[in-house]
Structure 1
């Protein structure tokens, strides 16, 4: 049951992140949005690269 709870928490966090990015008007490529939604690219290096490509958040 803990695994399902953890997966649900990750998905909710990804959903919140996408909502915040949408408000910041940062364009996501389809494959990057898919990676965020599936949780396959939620490591620090991928996040840092994404932030660098988009000038960070104000």
Structure 2
């Protein structure tokens, strides 16, 4: 377990390609947009299904 030492960990950390600020911002915005889009999609689906069940007499 050579990597499980302070020197091994510091070597691995130096090898990591950390994202640039521009890339990090771009990726964060992309994740937020997709999260909001999925939230809206599932909210609309739930609303439609709830109303269909309500019209069929099975909803609360």
Task: Give TM class, smaller chain.
Answer: 0.3 to 0.5
Normalised TM-score (structure 1): 0.42
Normalised TM-score (structure 2): 0.41
**Structure with more contact order per residue of length (Cα contacts < 8 Å, sep ≥ 6):** 1
